């Protein structure tokens, strides 16, 4: 795991631990599974040339469909905003 990925993972765990850690992991796995099943959506979210507002609209739809915890959704949103989504999806 890269240093950056490790820092992001620790930050998320600090927010979720202990009561929501397992649920957060399941939600991240569901998000990853969706992106693996929908490679066009993954490329769209990872593409820094796509306007941030367009990526946020897609994320909101995905978050609503997966019923993600607000903290997990915020975490994924930060990764997308900072073009760091690929480090989390390894």
pTM given for the model: 0.89
SS3 of the chain: the string is CCHHHHHHHHHHHHHHCCCCHHHHHHHHHHHHHHHHHCHHHHHHHHCCCCCHHHHHHHHHHHHHHHCCCHHHHHHHHHHHHCCCHHHHCC
Quickly state the pLDDT bin for 4 (edges 50, 70, 90). Answer: confident
pLDDT on residue 61: 95
pLDDT, tens only, 15-62 = 998 889 999 999 999 999 999 999 999 999 999 999 999 999 999 999
């Amino acid at each position: 795991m890269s240093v950056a990925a490790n820092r992001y993972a620790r930050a998320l765990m600090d927010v979720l631990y202990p009561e929501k850690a397992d649920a957060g992991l399941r939600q991240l796995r569901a998000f990853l599974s969706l992106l693996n099943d929908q490679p066009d959506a993954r490329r769209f979210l990872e593409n820094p040339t796509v306007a941030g507002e367009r990526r946020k609209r897609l994320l909101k739809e995905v978050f609503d469909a997966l019923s993600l915890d607000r903290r997990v959704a915020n975490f994924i949103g930060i990764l997308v905003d900072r073009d760091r989504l690929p480090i989390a999806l390894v």
